[in-house]
Amino acid sequence: MVSEVPQEMISEVEKLRAEIRHHNDLYYNKDAPEITDAEYDALMRRLQQLESEYPSLVTPDSPTQTVGAPARVGEEEETFAPVTHSVPMLSLENVADSSEMKAWYERTLKGLEAESAAFIVEPKLDGLAVELVYEAGRFAQGSTRGDGTTGENVTANLRMLKEIPGRLKGAPELLEVRGEVYMKKADFQALNRRREEDGQATFANPRNAAAGSLRQLDSKVTARRKLSIFLYDRGSVRRVAHGGEVEFLGFIAKLGLPVVEHHRCANLEEVEKAYQDYLDRREDLPFEIDGVVVKIDDFALREKLGIRSRSPRWAVAYKFPARQARTALAEIEWSVGRTGAVTPVAILEPVQLGGVTVRRASLHNEDEIKRLGVMYGDTVIVERAGDVIPDVVRVLTDARTGGEREIVFPKKCPVCGSEVVRPEGEVVARCTNMACPAQVQGRIQYFASRGCMDIEGFGEKNVGLFVEKGFVKDPADIYLLDKKREELEKLEGFGKKSVDNLLKAIDESKTRPLWRILNALGIRHVGEHVAHVLAENFGSIDSLMAASKEELEAIHEVGPKVAESVRD
Ligand code: IVH
């Protein structure tokens, strides 16, 4: 019996398909995505859900049934000859959390009619899938995945990758290997820096940079970009057999091919542990990953499970929580630090990101604002990497309405109104008024902080109060606070006991070693290390103050810049 499909479902499915195809084209062909991966996954999931509710709506060309995007043929200048893959190159289903992972795991064992099986966990590299064909040990052809059946012939460009050997010794008659071409984080940053200097558009992320670099009609361009590759799969292989992927990867590694790191896991707990381990190390890895891939190792078991139209049943992508979100930049807060540095902080429409609500993102400095080309009111992509405060990584210029306004870096300090100066060759602009309340507050807070004099009760709130009341204008005033006991006790939230504690903490800080005081003063170019050096060489603050610039410079590790700064 065919169930009746409501018209609104038909329309929604059609709309979703059109939308997903549009984003597939932007992502796979133009290397210029307009939405985040998480937003894309949400569209795809909704389509999958509707199609499973109304199976009569499924068509063979639905994005849920197809891989990637059709390669551009003859449409624009950058076209490559088509290559038909002897074995289709598939995509992967996603799972987003541990309960979905558990469901996949149980479904897979059920499909195998087994209690357990050997799994492998690999990093899910964020690049583009390619196939390399070796005939009698010679690298004969390389292609992109394309729509899974037909890809683009990028042999000449792949030859430019140092990691891809032109010849393999002892290789079988036919060897088709598959993997991911990617760009290391460091190479990506260097490439973007160069492009910026040359006034060219920068790449949004390493994946786009890798895809854009490989799909170049001029191989010389590819050669200048540093691309890397990891192999993780096979196509046709003739006259040699392997039991599973671990064995196969071991075999091709011996031939000199670069294989992806892979971990054997005997059960779900081990899979979870491997996933967590990659999540913990994500920022330290030299390449971007957006999750792990979990696979059945044994090829015979893979056969038994089989494939769907676009993805195998024997593997799944276990994605990491999203790090990117789209939001709007409402305002800029110009924060003034203890050295007078004026730092732009983006105030955002609150957005959920990796389990927390994000309201602010750093914009670093004037150059960064220029590099991003960001304006008030812009729709932006924010990303939380290792740091707690996210960065603005991209502006979605297509989302502009015309009402956006230019961001002008202030010429006057937003706190005290004094002149802001950015010396030539420096990226940081500073408020020039040493007495600026923001600078005073910053200096006192820094002086009393953990790594410096470590005075309890001198957090942001209290220091703000002491500065506002005029009790403390410089660090020396801290040590005169015992004369202001009565006034302190009258402050809101303070009583006899808390003032006692505060004065006790101040007293205790008098025993800190000299290097800590030197560090705490926040002299430019004098950090912890130089503070140690100065303390060892002069022994007391009086002899340091008496030292001439020449005497200072005579010390190994003290250059003219440091010496001048200390004298000042
Ligand atoms: S295995 C039959 N292993 O992720 C599918 N894929 O979202 C074989 N990918 O098309 C793929 N790292 O481009 C596999 N270690 C890894 C991978 C990996 C990245 C990519 C690959 C695939 C896509 C699916």
Q: How do residues 113-128 score in pLDDT, each as one tens digit?
A: 999 999 999 999 999 9
**Spacing, Cα 326 to ligand 1 middle (Å):** 26
Q: Candidates 37, 89, 91: which one to mutate for ligand 1, based on the most atoms within 8 Å of Cβ? A: 91
Ligand 1 centre to CA of 292 (Å) is 9
Residue from 180, 288, 318 to probe ligand 1 pocket by mutation (most atoms less than 8 Å from CB): 180
Q: Quote the ligand 1 centre to 185 CA distance (angstroms).
A: 19
Atom number of ligand 1 nearest to Cα 312: 2
For residue 223, the SS3 value is helix
105 CA → ligand 1 middle, Å: 18
Q: Which of 27, 125, 128 to mutate to test the pocket of ligand 1 (most atoms within 8 A of CB)?
A: 125
* Centroid of ligand 1 to alpha carbon of 365 (angstroms): 38
Ligand 1 contacts CB of residue 313 (under 6 A): no
Tokens of 452: 């410096």
Q: Which amino acids are annotated catalytic?
A: 124
Pocket test for ligand 1, best of 124, 177, 311 (most atoms within 8 A of CB): 124
Distance (Å, rounded) from C-alpha 29 to C-alpha 215? 9
Name the residue with the closest Cα to ligand 1, atom 13: 129
Ligand 1, atom nearest to 92 Cα: 24
- With a 6 A CB cut-off, is 210 part of the ligand 1 pocket? no
Establish whether residue 315 lines the binding site of ligand 1, counting it when its CB lies within 6 angstroms of any ligand atom. Answer: yes
Environment class of 414 (CB within 10 Å of its CB; exposed 0-12, middle 13-18, buried 19+): middle
Distance in Å, CA 225 to ligand 1 centroid: 23
Decide whether any atom of ligand 1 lies within 6 Å of the 318 Cβ: no
Ligand 1 atom nearest to CA at 124? 12
Which residues sit opposite 133 in a β-bridge? Answer: 141, 176
Residue-by-residue pLDDT tens, the chain, 568 positions: 455 899 999 999 999 999 999 999 989 888 888 889 899 999 999 999 999 999 999 999 999 999 988 776 544 455 899 999 999 999 999 999 999 999 999 999 999 999 999 999 999 999 999 999 999 999 999 999 999 999 999 999 999 999 999 999 999 999 999 999 999 999 999 998 888 778 788 888 899 999 999 999 899 999 999 999 999 999 999 999 999 999 999 999 999 999 999 999 999 999 999 999 999 999 899 999 999 999 999 999 999 999 999 999 999 999 998 889 999 999 999 999 999 999 999 999 999 987 789 999 989 999 999 989 999 999 999 998 766 789 999 999 999 999 999 999 999 999 999 999 999 988 899 999 999 999 999 999 999 998 899 999 999 999 999 999 999 999 999 999 999 999 999 998 899 999 999 999 999 999 999 999 999 999 988 988 999 999 999 999 999 999 999 999 999 889 999 999 999 9
pTM listed for this prediction: 0.75
112 φ, ψ (degrees, to nearest 5) = -90, -5
Distance from the alpha carbon of residue 312 to the mean position of ligand 1, in angstroms: 11
Cα separation, 294 vs 316, whole angstroms: 5
Distance between Cα 92 and ligand 1 center (Å): 7
CB of residue 125 inside a 6 A radius of ligand 1: yes
Ligand 1 atom 23, closest CA:
91
Lookup: tokens for 201: 């558009």
Nearest C-alpha to atom 17 of ligand 1 is from which residue?
124
Any atom of ligand 1 within 6 Å of the Cβ of 92: yes
**Contact predicate 468/491, CB 8 Å:** no
Query: Whose Cα sits closest to atom 10 in ligand 1?
Result: 91
Q: What is the pLDDT of residue 1?
A: 47
Is the CB of 296 inside a 6 Å radius of any atom of ligand 1?
no
Contacts 24+ apart (CB under 8 A), 371-376: 371/196, 371/202, 373/397, 374/329, 374/346, 374/407, 375/329, 375/400, 375/404, 375/405, 375/406, 375/407, 376/329, 376/330, 376/331, 376/332, 376/404, 376/405, 376/406, 376/407
Tokens of 314: 């024997």
Q: What is the DSSP letter of 307?
A: B
* Centroid of ligand 1 to alpha carbon of 392 (angstroms): 28
Under a CB-based contact definition with an 8 Å cutoff, are residues 263 and 274 in contact? Answer: yes
Positive or negative, the CA dihedral 306, 211, 13, 49 is positive
Is there an atom of ligand 1 within 6 Å of 91 CB? yes
Q: Is 316 in the pocket of ligand 1 (CB under 6 A)?
A: no
Instruction: Please list, residue by residue across 482-520, b when 16 or more beta carbons sit within 10 angstroms of its beta carbon and e when fewer do.
Output: eebeeebeebeebeeeebeebbebbeebeeeebbbbbbb
